[in-house]
Structure 1
Amino acid sequence: MHRRHFLIHIAAFSLVATNPAAVMADSLGPREKLFMALKNARTEREGRVAENAVWQWWISQAPTPEVREAIDYGMKRRESYDFEAAETAFDIAVREAPTYAEGWNQRAFARFLRDNDDGALSDLEMAVELEPDHFGAWSGMYHLLMRMGRPKAAIAALSRAVEIHPWLKERGMLPPDPDAKRPLVKGKQQDL
């Protein structure tokens, strides 16, 4: 566990060190450094590296080894398409650590896969309440709200996700800004 925290700190440092805003980063904590690197990524590759570091950091924030074990087990069960067992594992994480945003986010994904839209939406709302910059939860909310037939709310959620993570894979799903000459989407520089 200590090695993982060390690697996350090294990733945050290296991401911020390649960024011009790094001079300001000396007084920032690991979370702030990770999000600064994500926001200021200049290429798709830098964005992916920063994104992966943020995900690792979120998962590493499990408050106890038991909660981390439940998260890891749930993710393994989900990868094996055993969505019911995954949700049960994430139930444990949420029950044992109700202020751990990633537990709610992971359970929301399992619920989404089980077509429990109301449960998934409730979990995603809790995840972003606990971690307002959780681009994964905002992006998940986009997919869920689209499925629920709520496109305006979905676009608002995706806009928030892209504001946090400009290189988010789903960024191309945003409609172009009608008042701009260029799309809102980073990485697409053609005129409309």
Structure 2
Amino acid sequence: MPDMRLILALTLLAAPAFAQDTESVCPTAPDHAAEAAEIIARLQRTGNEMQARPLADRLWQLWTDAPDAKAQALLDEGMAKREGYDFLGARDTFDTLVEYCPDYAEGYNQRAFASFLRQEYDAALYDLDKALAITPTHIAAMSGKALTLMGLGRMEEAQEVLRDALALNPWLKERGLLQEPAGTDL
């Protein structure tokens, strides 16, 4: 029969490892899909940009509602670094966020923004596609993808993505970049 003191000692030694293991698992992001869909429907009915602005702000609040305090701290830190023009530091922080929470769209979207600002369009496009795979109606990721495709010189694709984004929110600032399809009289 095994020595109970040995079993107890091994259990106590293993406990911190198990505790650390559960801390490294990102919980599921809050489900804001119903509220986001309602806001998007309201954006589509809104009569002007002034009315659309608070709705778009609310979408940002939903998108940046991270799965837990650790993820929120990483998101906030990365955004602060980006706003301070530390694009590489921001990308490193978003790398950590994406590794921790691979199913959280905003981690990819923010990392894409940091890459876009460095004119690393291929990296930005990869992350925007990941964000949109998780949250297909992420309007900011859609408009970011349109801008990234423009940066890559892929204008037709960019216009298609921009049209899709404007179908969800006709008041996007990027609407001024929309071009009429070829063969259309202005």
TM range (shorter): 0.7 to 0.9
1:2-17 matched pairs, under 5 angstroms: none
1:40-119 matched pairs, under 5 angstroms: 40-60=45-65, 62-119=66-123
Whether contact under 8 Å (1:104, 1:127) holds in the other structure is: yes
> 1:136 is matched with which residue: 129, 140, 148?
140
What is the CA–CA distance in structure 2 between the aligned matches of 1:92 and 1:175, rounded to whole Å? 38
Distance apart, 1:32 and its partner CA: 2.3
Report the TM-score when normalising by structure 2. Answer: 0.77
Report the TM-score when normalising by structure 1. Answer: 0.75
Distance apart, 1:180 and its partner CA: 7.2
Quick one: structure 1 residues 44 and 180, their matched pair in 2 at CA, closer, same or farther if it must change by over 3 Å? farther
Aligned residues: 154
Where 1:29 maps in the other structure, the secondary structure is: helix
Q: Which has the larger radius of gyration?
A: 2
What is the CA–CA distance in structure 2 between the aligned matches of 1:108 and 1:79, rounded to whole Å? 14
1:33 equivalent in alignment to 2:38? yes
1:125 equivalent in alignment to 2:129? yes
Higher relative contact order, structure no. (Cα contacts within 8 Å, ≥ 6 residues apart): 2
What amino acid is aligned across from residue 55 of structure 1 in structure 2?
W
Where 1:133 maps in the other structure, the secondary structure is: coil
Question: Which consecutive residues of structure 1, in runs of 5 or more, have no partner in the other structure?
Answer: 1-27, 182-191
Spell out, residue by residue over 1:126-154, the C-alpha distance to the aligned partner (whole angstroms, 9 max, x if none): 11111111111111111111111111111
1:153 equivalent in alignment to 2:157? yes
Identical-residue share of aligned pairs (%): 40
